[in-house]
């Protein structure tokens, strides 16, 4: 489909002849952005108490033509406009009041960095000289620093880093000082050595004067609640150990409470939640599916306040409507972990199950919950929670409201025809715009908000509305109603890969600022705004905005004749300070090939209203003019030099629809119906925001990069953006994300270059190089490394938490790799025998082996288990082996919390299709004469306790030094080796019964490990205490303070 549409453009370009479009890099040097005249110069906005757009048009003189500057002197001219006033309440959709217009501000955009050059090896000609280097930087942003005599540089090395933030060397020998994630303005220093072509070198002491940023919220870090996705881009939901399925059906055969009473020969009054606990067969599979009354009772018993965190699944049979489920989640419903959440989904064949009862969740305690494959017609009001995800969802009729949620994800969803059927007030005489305000998706006071792969269409207005707001028609559009309204109180917002079409007013308001990428704003009265948050003491409080690869096309021009009047054809509005606008297209307010469309859109509003100076802007504006001023179009076109206007005129959404649908008369409404059918599953999922954007970018001379081969991708923090996000293509020298296409791209290799990177996505790559001091932070998503992992001489770190997963095929570098697993999952799928420092805590999962894998803790390496909440050890399919090999001068450490000590064992991870009562993998531990350190401070001084430290299929070897801290002098400690049960156990005597002595106890026959050939080979082949043959002498002979049972 993409090839066919792009071929159409190629043909159009050939017919038009001459002036064909070229290509643009990811961050081109921007031509001017005049912005000093609105698209329709005869329209001026008059203030409305709650509106930031148009009220009444008045006539102005003809505009002054602003000439384009030469390409060698790019400038951006910005015309500030209204300042929003505070909204009346957190959920009210209200447009703010304008401030007076002030004179335009001119800023220079930041040019692209020079392309990297191959390194040149130069022998030093003598000892380095000393020099000083002074620079300025902005808190919370990336600053690119150029070194003196840069043209003669052949190499740069960081000697010591700054007290906060990170500094790295870019491929072109500039320095990237990354202060993203901090608001600190303390001056900082670091040092580096620069080597020049003549063999001389200089060690510079750098002093940096740091000033406050223009957005107090800094950059959003891209920290969401996101799981692994499958080949269909749906979330992969795994259940944990505490798991029950509840099947509910709308079929007549579903078992109601009365049906169950009849089957059991009891009264209905005898059935309650406790009764269901002892009759677990009900609802457990589709054949025993429950009706709504019984299903709701059972689900309430299993979840909510007073129950243990669980990964229970509530499954509705497809093809039915459910109207009696209430809010679905009881107060306090909590998933077992981020990786093993509560799941509300569907089963069976047919259309999505419909939940028509309102889902109103306003209480505390909702955590780790995923909804998938459901249609909601009664509305969603989710007002508190943490780690909430909606995937493959449909919403119609009533709006979706999300507030006060830490990490909310809404993806793969369609939101259509959200509208009031009757006025939202008693005794209404007209459709009052403010009282009847409505939004497809509303969000406020959420942190970590991801909206992706959405389709929103025709929300908050009805086709049969009357312009005078008469009740004889349906709900009219108003300036208070939108497709998406993300209010000022949000932070770390990402809106991407979304089509938002035919909204009442805005396609999307992102008032807090955020990442707005790869979206299509189609046929709205107003396309999009990003306002930078509220203003305190003259400073925007929201996040910086990256507005990249978006298309705004077709101004809807839906009019009303009474009441407050909003914009009719607004393109984009920015009040975000230092925003970055790259590769955006705002075009065709009306179809240039349809005179009737142009005539019907008489009033034109501004294509791009920049109320604050951007850091960078190369937006292409073409044919954004109303019928009133069609003869003055060329005065308002921007950044189209060298482009063929015949091709631009052919690059319309109408022609896209015509080619897609095979109908030369296809309209936007026809395209919208096609997209709805696709969202409902009636069509193959081939048309998305990417396809439409590629169509427009091809026609407008922006390169559409279709990858064919895998490559080596280098992370380079870009000063136009955040400098830390893996999922931001600006930060990659290639201009695209690793593994971003199917096929060969899965074999991409990645070099982080010593940068500190926040991962996001589901990606498989070949090799990963962290670089000198590089860090990869994985709090969500799934990263698989099939090849080698390397670090620099100063080491590197993997930080894993939340729902993040890293699957490594081993590690063999002698330089130190720190693996900090505070949650999420780390999995070894090969041989780890490099130098590692592993720290495990909280609810982390650490899979040391899954299928014939070895995790060797070599000399000078360590593995520490902090607390008893984590799961460490082995899981996998039947037939494989997994072993932990400790070695001399390595350390295994345990730190107790008040609940006890962790352990190394087989455990149920939820990732494999294995029974909960035992993994199929064969597991073993070779103690390898390592040191054992145990901190019992949290347990000491009480009753006698016993804690199992290791329990696997086979244990061999013993520890060398055993150190127990926090014991005190009135308790004794013993470490028990049991080679028959294959356990290592710690016992503490009761307080007052000992002297602080530590001893060891041995039971069983160590040589019985030979019974399993594969496991014995893994435990002894080149690692650990023994050679391939069994020991002749007892390895425990001569151990101090030990005895044999």
Give the tens place of pLDDT for each residue, 772-785: 999 999 999 999 99
Cα separations (Å) of 717 from 113, 169, 781? 11, 10, 21
- Cα–Cα distance, 934 to 867 (Å, whole number): 11
- Residue 874 has a pLDDT of 95
- Number of domains observed in the structure of the chain: 2
What's the CA gap between 911 and 240, in Å, rounded?
A: 9
Q: Which residues pair with 853 in a beta bridge?
A: 882
Q: What is the pLDDT at residue 818? A: 98
pLDDT tens, 819-859?
Answer: 999 999 999 999 999 999 999 999 999 999 999 999 999 99
Domain harbouring 173, CATH code:
2.60.40
**Nearest of 345, 442, 369 to residue 87 by alpha carbon:** 442
In a domain, 589, yes or no: no
DSSP 222: -
| Radius of gyration in angstroms for the set of CA atoms belonging to the chain, rounded to a whole number | 32
Phi, psi (rounded to 5 degrees) for 636: -120, -5
**What pLDDT is stored for residue 325 in this prediction?**
95
| Distance from C-alpha of 221 to C-alpha of 802, rounded to nearest angstrom | 14
Q: Give per-residue pLDDT as tens, 310-361.
A: 999 999 999 999 999 999 999 999 999 999 999 999 999 999 999 999 999 9
Distance from C-alpha of 485 to C-alpha of 506, rounded to nearest angstrom: 8
At residue 1028, does pLDDT exceed 60?
A: no
Spatial separation of the C-alpha atoms in residues 56 and 937, rounded to whole Å? 73
What are the two backbone dihedrals, phi and then psi, of residue 922, each rounded to the nearest 5 degrees? -95, 125
Burial code (b: 16+ CB inside 10 Å, e: under 16) for 92-130 equals ebbbbbbeeeeebeebebbeebeeeeeeeeeeeeeeeee
Return the sign of the alpha-carbon dihedral for residues 636, 642, 643, 646.
Answer: positive
CA distances from 296 to 175, 326, 372, 710 (A): 59, 9, 18, 50
Task: Residue 967: count other Cβ atoms within 10 Å of its Cβ.
Answer: 22
Residues 6+ apart with CB under 8 A from 85: 49, 50, 96, 97
CA distances from 848 to 292, 465, 862, 907 (A): 43, 63, 13, 11
In a domain? residue 735 = yes
* pLDDT (average), residues 711-735: 96
Domain assignment of residue 144, yes or no: yes
Q: Which carries the bigger pLDDT value, residue 841 or residue 105?
A: 841
Answer whether 405's CB lies under 8 Å from 381's CB.
no
CA–CA dist 712, 1007 (Å, integer)? 48
* 385: β partners: 405
Neighbouring-strand partners of residue 347: 317
For residue 1018, give Cα distances in angstroms to 831, 862, 983. 11, 20, 18
pLDDT value of position 683? 65
Q: What percent of the chain has a predicted confidence (pLDDT) above 70?
A: 84
CA distance 150 to 114: 11
Residue 17 domain flag: no
Label residue 761 by pLDDT band (50, 70, 90). Answer: very high
Higher pLDDT, 340 or 78: 340
Q: What is the pLDDT of residue 744?
A: 52
C-alpha atoms less than 13 angstroms from C-alpha of 531 in its C-beta half-sphere: 26
CB-CB contact of 383 with 412 (8 Å): no
CA pair distance 470, 461, nearest whole angstrom? 13
Give the pLDDT band of residue 908 (cuts 50, 70, 90): very high
Under 8 Å between Cβ of 662 and 670: no
pLDDT at 1036: 36
Q: How large is the average pLDDT for residues 573-587?
A: 98
Lowest mean per-residue pLDDT among 7-16, 21-30, 711-720, 898-907: 21-30
pLDDT of 70 over the 90 cut? no
Buried b (16+ CB within 10 A) or exposed e, 499-521: bbbbbbbbbbbbbbbbbbbbbbb
Mean pLDDT of 598-622: 96
pLDDT band, very low/low/confident/very high, at 709 (cuts 50, 70, 90): confident
Residue 468: is its pLDDT beyond 90? Answer: yes
Query: CB atoms < 10 A from the CB of 430, how many?
Result: 16
Please tell me what DSSP assigns to residue 629: G
Residue 830 lies in a domain: yes
Q: End-to-end distance of the chain based on CA atoms, in angstroms?
A: 75
Give the phi and the psi of residue 11 in degrees, each rounded to 5.
-65, -40
Residue 194 has pLDDT above 50, yes or no: yes
In this prediction, residue 42 has a pLDDT band, given cuts at 50, 70 and 90, of very low
Predicted confidence (pLDDT) per residue in 231-241, tens digit: 999 999 999 99
Tens digits of per-residue pLDDT, 790-813? 999 999 999 999 999 999 999 999
- Domain carrying residue 191: 140-211
Whether 841 is in a domain gets the answer: yes
Three-state DSSP at 709 gives: coil
- This prediction has a pTM of 0.88
718 CB-near residues (< 8 Å, 6+ apart) = 27, 142, 728, 730, 731
Kind of pairing, strands 891-895 and 931-935? parallel
Report the pLDDT value the prediction gives residue 125, as an integer from 0 to 100: 63
In a domain, 181, yes or no: yes
Q: 182, 211, 240: which is the final residue of a domain?
A: 211
Structure letter (DSSP) for residue 62: P
Rounded average pLDDT over 179-206: 96
pLDDT exceeds cutoff 60 at 4 = no
Angle of helix 668-679 relative to helix 653-661, nearest 10 degrees, comes to 60
User: Which residue, of 162, 189, 211, is where some domain finishes?
Assistant: 211
Last residue of a domain, one of 211, 227, 257: 211
Task: Return mean pLDDT, the chain.
Answer: 87
Calculated CA dihedral for residues 283, 284, 286, 288, nearest 10 degrees: -50
Distance CA 422, CA 474 (A): 8
825 occurs within a structural domain: yes
Would you call 560 helix, strand, or coil by DSSP? Answer: coil
8 A C-beta contact, residue 380 and residue 356: no
């Amino acid at each position: 489909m993409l090839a066919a549409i792009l071929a159409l453009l190629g043909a159009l370009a050939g017919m038009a002849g001459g002036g064909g479009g070229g290509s643009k890099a990811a961050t081109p040097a921007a031509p001017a952005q005049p912005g000093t005249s609105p698209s329709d110069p005869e329209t001026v906005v008059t203030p409305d108490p709650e509106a930031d757009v148009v009220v009444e048009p008045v006539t102005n003189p003809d505009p002054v033509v602003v000439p384009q500057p030469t390409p060698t002197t790019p400038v951006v001219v910005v015309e500030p406009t209204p300042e929003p006033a505070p909204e009346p309440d957190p959920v009210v959709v209200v447009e703010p009041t304008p401030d007076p217009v002030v004179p335009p501000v001119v800023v220079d955009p930041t040019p692209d960095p020079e392309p990297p050059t191959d390194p040149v090896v130069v022998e030093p000609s003598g000892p380095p000289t000393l020099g000083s280097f002074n620079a300025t930087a902005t808190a919370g942003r990336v600053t690119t620093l150029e070194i003196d005599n840069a043209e003669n540089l052949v190499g740069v090395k960081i000697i010591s880093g700054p007290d906060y933030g990170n500094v790295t060397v870019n491929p072109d020998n500039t320095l990237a000082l990354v202060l993203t994630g901090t608001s600190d303005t303390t001056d900082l220093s670091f040092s580096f050595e620069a080597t020049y072509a003549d063999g001389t070198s200089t060690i510079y002491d750098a002093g940096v004067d740091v000033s406050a940023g223009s957005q107090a919220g800094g950059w959003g870090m891209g920290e969401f609640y996101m799981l692994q996705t499958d080949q269909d881009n749906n979330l992969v939901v795994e259940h944990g150990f505490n798991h029950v399925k509840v099947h509910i059906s709308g079929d007549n055969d579903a078992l109601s409470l009365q049906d169950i009473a009849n089957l059991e020969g009891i009264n209905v009054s005898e059935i309650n939640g406790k009764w269901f606990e002892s009759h677990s067969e009900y609802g457990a599979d589709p054949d025993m599916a429950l009706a709504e009354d019984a299903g709701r009772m059972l689900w309430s018993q299993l979840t909510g306040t007073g129950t243990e965190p669980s990964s229970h699944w509530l499954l509705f049979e497809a093809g039915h409507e459910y109207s009696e489920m209430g809010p679905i989640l009881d107060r306090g419903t909590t998933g077992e972990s981020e990786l093993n959440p509560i799941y509300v989904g569907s089963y069976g064949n047919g259309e999505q199950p419909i939940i028509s009862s309102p889902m109103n969740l306003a209480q505390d305690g909702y955590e780790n919950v995923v909804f998938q494959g459901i249609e909601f017609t009664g509305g969603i009001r989710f007002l508190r929670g943490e780690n909430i995800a909606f995937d493959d969802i449909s919403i119609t009729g009533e709006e979706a409201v999300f507030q006060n949620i830490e990490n909310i994800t809404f993806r793969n969803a369609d939101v259509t025809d959200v509208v009031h059927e009757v006025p939202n007030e008693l005794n209404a005489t007209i459709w009052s715009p403010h009282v009847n305000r409505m939004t497809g998706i509303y969000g406020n006071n959420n942190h970590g908000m991801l909206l992706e792969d959405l389709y929103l269409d025709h929300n908050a207005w009805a086709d049969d509305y009357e312009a005078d707001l008469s009740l004889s028609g349906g709900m009219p559009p108003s300036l208070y109603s939108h497709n998406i309204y993300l209010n000022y109180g949000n932070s770390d917002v990402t809106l991407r890969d979304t089509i938002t079409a035919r909204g009442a007013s805005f396609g999307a308001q992102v008032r807090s600022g955020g990442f707005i990428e790869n979206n299509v704003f189609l046929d709205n009265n107003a396309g999009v705004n990003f306002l930078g948050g509220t203003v305190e003491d003259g400073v925007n409080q929201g996040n910086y905005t990256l507005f990249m690869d978006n298309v705004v096309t077709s101004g809807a021009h839906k009019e009303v004749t009474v009441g407050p009047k909003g914009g009719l054809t607004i393109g984009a509005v920015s009040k975000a300070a230092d925003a970055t606008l790259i590769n955006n297209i705002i075009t065709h307010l009306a179809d240039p090939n349809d005179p009737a469309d142009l005539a019907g859109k008489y009033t034109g509003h501004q294509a791009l209203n920049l109320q604050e100076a951007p850091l960078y802007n190369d937006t292409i504006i073409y044919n954004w003019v109303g019928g009133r001023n069609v003869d003055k179009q060329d005065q308002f076109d921007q950044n189209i030099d060298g482009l063929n206007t015949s091709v631009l005129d052919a690059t319309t959404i109408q022609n896209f629809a015509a080619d897609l649908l095979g109908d030369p008369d296809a309209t936007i409404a026809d395209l919208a119906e096609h997209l709805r059918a696709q969202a409902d599953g009636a069509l193959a999922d081939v048309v998305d925001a990417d396809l439409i954007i590629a169509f427009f970018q091809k026609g407008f001379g922006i390169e559409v990069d279709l990858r064919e081969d895998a490559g080596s991708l280098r992370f380079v923090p870009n000063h136009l953006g955040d400098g830390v996000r893996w999922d931001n293509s600006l930060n990659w020298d290639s201009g695209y994300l690793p593994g971003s296409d199917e096929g060969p791209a899965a074999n991409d290799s990645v070099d982080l270059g010593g940068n500190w990177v926040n991962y996001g996505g589901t990606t498989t790559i070949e090799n990963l190089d962290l670089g000198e001091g590089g860090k990869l932070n994985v709090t969500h998503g799934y990263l698989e490394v099939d090849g080698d992992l390397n670090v620099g001489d100063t080491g590197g770190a993997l930080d894993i938490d939340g729902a993040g997963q890293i699957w490594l095929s081993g590690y063999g570098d002698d330089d130190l790799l720190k693996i900090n697993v505070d949650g999420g999952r780390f999995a070894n799928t090969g041989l780890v025998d490099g130098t590692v420092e592993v720290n495990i805590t909280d609810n982390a999962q650490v899979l040391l082996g899954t299928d014939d894998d070895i995790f060797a803790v070599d000399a000078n390496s360590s593995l520490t288990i902090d607390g008893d909440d984590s799961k460490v050890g082995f899981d996998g399919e039947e037939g494989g082996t997994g072993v932990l090999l400790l070695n001399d001068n390595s350390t295994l450490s345990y730190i107790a919390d008040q609940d006890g000590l962790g352990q190394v064992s087989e455990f149920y991870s939820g990732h494999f299709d294995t029974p909960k009562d035992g993994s199929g993998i064969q597991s073993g531990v070779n103690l390898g004469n390592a040191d054992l350190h145990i901190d019992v401070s949290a347990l000491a001084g009480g009753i006698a306790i016993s804690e199992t430290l290791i329990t696997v299929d086979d244990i061999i070897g013993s520890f060398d030094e055993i150190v127990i801290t926090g014991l005190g002098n009135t308790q004794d400690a013993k470490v028990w080796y049991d080679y028959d049960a294959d356990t290592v156990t710690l016992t503490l005597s009761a307080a007052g019964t000992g002297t602080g002595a530590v001893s060891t106890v041995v039971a069983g026959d160590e040589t019985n490990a030979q019974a399993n050939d594969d496991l014995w080979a893994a435990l002894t082949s080149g690692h650990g205490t023994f050679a391939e043959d069994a020991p002749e002498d007892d390895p425990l002979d001569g151990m101090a303070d030990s005895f044999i049972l």
